[in-house]
Chain A
Amino acid sequence: MGRAMRTTTALVLGAGPAGAVAAAALARRGVPTVLAGRGETGRDHEVLLGGPARRGLRSIGFPASWHGSYPVELWLGAENPCPLPDVDFATVSGARLRADLRTHAVASGAEYLEGEVTSLTAGSTGFSAVLDGHLVVEAAQVVVATGAPVAGAAGHGTGVACARSFTGPLTGDRVILRLLAPPGADPAGRPRCVWLAPSADGYTIGAAAIGRCEDPARFLAEAIAALGEVEPRLVEGTPRGPIDSAPVYSGFSPGRAAGDGGLLVGDAAGLVNPFTGEGLSGAVHSGLLAAGAIASHVDDRVAARRTYERDLGAAFVGYFETANHAARRYHLAWRVLAAGAGSESPFFVKGRRAIVLPEGLSEPVAGPPLRPPPGTGPILAPFLAACDEVAVTTIRREWPFLARLFTPDRSLTDFRLRPAVALCAAILAGGGTPRRGHPTVAAAIELAMLGALAFLGPAVTPRARRGVDWESATTILGGDYLLGRASRLIAETAPGLSWSFADWLGELTALRAEVVVSPETADVARVFASLFEFPLRVGAELGAATAESARTLRRYGDAVGRLFLFAEDALALGGKRTRLDTTLGGMLAARTSTVPGLLRRHDLTADTLGSDPLLRAAALAVVLDRGRRAWREARAAGARLSDSRARRVLRVFADAIAEPAFGSLPSP
């Protein structure tokens, strides 16, 4: 039989979202590209489009085909939602999105060939694919976007996602995600997620589960019941079409996705959030990364693979890896989520965000990015990037979900407030620049500070129940683990600091114990003063600052630590989101609020403060006064340094902590 023959540079197999995004991005960078795949597969329900996915699509000039966006509510039980501030999802018809993306790929310059890929072979110089059994396409590079493997075929990490759209009568105002407890009290149960998204004329219900085969109809009925518990307005609408059910695959690993059979993207790469079944973010992001890797190495597919593997590794943290542990890890993370549902510990609040939300292509949502003071950008940016890399690689293999807290998503850790910024400035104070190994120490200290927070927050009293109590276990294991890792990094890169590090742990625990046993006389702010003073002390030592500068840096750190806590109190009193994502009630319960001490009212609760405007005003006034005082102290200490770069960075650092809480401070 005669076969037609085509040649191109890049061939994208699969014309779903991931493939179309990759093809559009390749074509926009001038790479001759063929996009091959079947036409419409008939699935049509609303899909959720998170902020990162929307940003990714905008970056390739895709015209928005979604309207507005909705806030997100996360329910772990049926009692209270966990708010996810600054997070939203847009909804869009899945079929329309796929069609529009394909059109956009063609408009960007890719050629679309409709047909099914019947074979793909890799040769020494390139790939050869056969479409519909007769058209041969030869290409130097291949992107594989053929969707999730059939359930079960890929081993661990497989599951099912189903969804159905309904018309009327509910027109919701928010997206609801609910994680379901396993049926019965099955201690070996696996996580499942159900969701509700509004659409123009009704709503869509979805459900996803990894690690088990669900009957879609039963699963959706369960989803409707579970969502009805938290959204009473949800009453049976009219189905707009059949139940759509598809396998999901979350068995991502960077090495496998960048294998020698082409670069895998989207569902084919297993980039599905195992908790929510959400895969569009991963599809868009991996499509862009694959296109970027190929466009940078058009003639070298080995280099393209290397680049893709590296970029994937940096972008997707926590979606794990070896089959051996994956199921247990998902299970652990889910137990942690469920156990910490009511917790306000930063550990859980930040953990919830990190685990449930789509990732990648982040941009700051907590405020404008740090504009490094003149002359410091070229030092700070690589320093922080290196610090992130160390933090993530140190823990990603062992506790991937925790590692997600350290991915550069600025909604999690406002980059201006990172201890590593202050540490870097303290190194500069010695007159030099950061050296090799210094970012590793900074990473260790950031890991340690998060670990220490696990012990300095509210005491988690284990509940009597069968099995491990996950809320307390996670706090303890997580804290110990992070501190253990940090101490090892320090011993290996800067052994001279090992003693100071150990001594600092002693100091922190002593100060916190004082708060626990004598809440009426202890100064809560001293715990935070010690917490923040340490990175400055370490920076001074690494940068070989003079004794005088070192003293000044420590004074600065001490003032900035107190400033941080006063700012937390001021934000919480004002009902605003705090840096540690806690609330006034949470701070009072954890005994991390300065208010009871300042007002000499040790019986204060959030309710007392809430119902007494005069008392609240008095609290705010005193917190404001102390906070501004600490701010001035910090600024004054910073201004005494002789190195102008250190002066400027530390000024920005203190101001970034203070301004959202205290407004502006006149220049000295």
Chain B
Amino acid sequence: MTTPETSAVRARLERLVDGLSAPLRDTVRGLVERPGKQLRSTMLAACAGFGEADPGRVARLGAVVELVHLASLVHDDVIDRAAVRRGRPAAHREAGTELALLAGLACLGAAGAEAAELGEDVSVPVSRTIAELTHGELLDVERGFDVTLSLPDYVELVRRKTGALFELSCLLGAAEARLGRPARTALAAFGREFGIAFQIMDDCWDLTAAGADKPVGTDQLLGLFGAPTLSALRADDSGRLGELLLSPGFSVADLAEVRELVTGLGGITAARELAGVHYRKALSALAAAPGRPAGAALRAIAEKVWGEP
């Protein structure tokens, strides 16, 4: 969906990426041209709508969060050896690993510089979030092949990996709206919890439906078990699922059985329930924030994403 706000963010994003050196710009240009849902900047703008915010600054801030997101996608795709991103070959497939890594880093640099130009109140939370995000990515990979990871530990890593950037988006928007501390805290909690719910639903999709970007079950092959699999492992008295996931010959051919086992053990249902818990926490945090029309707009964005398959 294109709105004047998303177009303004995209224009700003293009300008920032234009500032990179030619080979790096070319490496990420495709991702800027296919910006995806721009969910983070949309939420930022919706939070800014709680007050009288300067649209120019809101667009610049939106570009900062989208650029941080873009940088993490480019690096993640190298780690996951993903072939496709947003319907096209991933950056590292087209430009090579080295340029993709440098381009991702250059995007982080550009986001940092833009954040610094927007002021200390922006650069401090942005750099804190980048630190959280990189730590979350580390935790994500560190637990590879861990079939005993507890769900609270899992939620904690998801909070860093995904929740932190949603939280930042809402926080930056709330600051632009000049909201008081309680309202900012409420919107930050909304972003964080919504991000967690979003990521857990994404785990479910990894098992149930092939998305545009990856075939079913990619994460299982990488040994990065999400909420449905972890819940199912908990419920599996026979030990069959764990045995299968850790078997040396595990391959794409085994994914159908994994899916069947996880579904049969109630893993998908349990994960959806867990996502629902965080989604409801997000909505109740939002209910605590003042400002009806803006709150309704933000709620509508959340409901739309939540209602998607």
Chain A residues proximal to chain B, CB less than 8 Å: 184-188, 324-325, 328-329, 331-332, 335, 398-399, 455, 459-462, 464, 466-469, 472-473, 476-477, 479-481, 483-485, 487-488, 490-492, 495, 498-499, 501-506, 509-510, 512-514, 516-517
Contact = CB atoms under 8 A, between A and B. Distances in A.
Interface in B148-166: 153
Interface string B124-165: 101110110111011001111111000001000000000000
B200 to A, nearest CB: 21
Contact of B145 (A184, A467, A484): A467
B115 A498 contact: yes
Contacts of B110: 502, 506
- Binding site secondary structure of chain B: helix
B165 to A, nearest CB: 12
A185 B153 CA distance: 26
B145 A481 contact: no
A462 B78 contact: yes
Contacts of B126: 491
Contacts of A477: 79, 134, 137-138, 141
Interface string B207-235: 00000000000000111100000000000
Interface stretch (B29-37, B97-105, B274-282): B97-105
Nearest to B19: A506
A455 B105 contact: yes
Nearest to B150: A324
A468 B146 contact: no
B185 to A, nearest CB: 20
Contacts of A328: 142-143, 146
A488 B128 contact: yes
Contacts of A331: 142
Closest 4 CB pairs of A and B: A502-B112, A505-B109, A459-B98, A185-B248
B113 interface: yes
Given A495-B123, A498-B115, A506-B113, A462 B79 contact: yes
A502 B102 contact: no
B137 to A, nearest CB: 6
Contacts of A399: 138
Nearest to B119: A495
B106 interface: yes
A467 B222 CA distance: 4
Contacts of B144: 187, 335, 467-468
Interface in B241-293: 246, 248, 250-251
Given A186-B246, A468-B222, A516 B138 contact: no
Contacts of A499: 112-113, 116-117, 123
A490 B102 CA distance: 21
A331 B145 CA distance: 10
Contacts of B142: 325, 328-329, 331-332
A459 B92 CA distance: 11
Interface stretch (B5-13, B20-28, B171-179): B20-28
Contacts of A479: 101, 105
Interface of B: 19-21, 23-24, 75, 78-81, 96-99, 101-103, 105-106, 108-113, 115-117, 120, 123-124, 126-128, 130-131, 133-135, 137-138, 141-147, 153, 221-224, 246, 248, 250-251
B131 A488 contact: yes
B180 to A, nearest CB: 23
B123 A491 contact: yes
Contacts of B153: 324
A513 B153 CA distance: 38
B101 A513 contact: no
A398 B109 CA distance: 23
7 contacts: A187-B145, A328-B146, A329-B142, A487-B127, A498-B123, A506-B106, A510-B21
Given A460-B97, A480-B75, 17 more contacts: A184-B248, A186-B248, A187-B223, A328-B146, A455-B102, A466-B221, A467-B221, A468-B144, A469-B81, A484-B131, A490-B127, A491-B127, A498-B116, A502-B116, A506-B19, A510-B21, A510-B106
A131 to B, nearest CB: 42
A513 B120 contact: no
Nearest to B138: A477
B118 to A, nearest CB: 10
Contact of B112 (A329, A466, A498): A498
A481 B98 contact: no
A491 B126 CA distance: 9
Contacts of B96: 459, 516
Contact of B113 (A491, A502, A512): A502
Contacts of A506: 19-20, 106, 109-110, 113
B134 A484 contact: yes
Contacts of A504: 109
A476 B101 contact: yes
A284 B28 CA distance: 54
Contacts of A488: 127-128, 130-131
Given A498-B127, A509-B102, A188 B145 contact: yes
Nearest to B142: A332
A189 to B, nearest CB: 9
A516 B123 contact: no
Nearest to B123: A498
Contacts of B124: 491-492, 495
A509 B103 contact: yes
Contacts of A483: 105, 108, 134
A505 B99 contact: no
Contacts of A335: 144
A503 B106 CA distance: 9
Contacts of A492: 124, 127-128
A510 B146 contact: no
A405 to B, nearest CB: 15
Given A187-B248, A498-B116, A461 B97 contact: yes
B20 to A, nearest CB: 7
B28 to A, nearest CB: 11
A502 B109 contact: yes
A398 B133 CA distance: 13
Nearest to A507: B109
B223 A516 contact: no
A329 B106 CA distance: 29
Contacts of A490: 127
A493 to B, nearest CB: 10
A513 B130 CA distance: 23
A455 B99 CA distance: 10
Contacts of A455: 101-102, 105
A583 B116 CA distance: 39
Nearest to B80: A468
B135 A398 contact: yes
A513 B102 contact: yes
Contacts of A466: 221-223, 250-251
Pick the most buried of A332, A459, A492: most chain B CB atoms within 10 A of its CB.
Answer: A459
Contacts of A460: 97
Nearest to B137: A477
A333 B132 CA distance: 20
B233 to A, nearest CB: 12
Contacts of B115: 498, 502
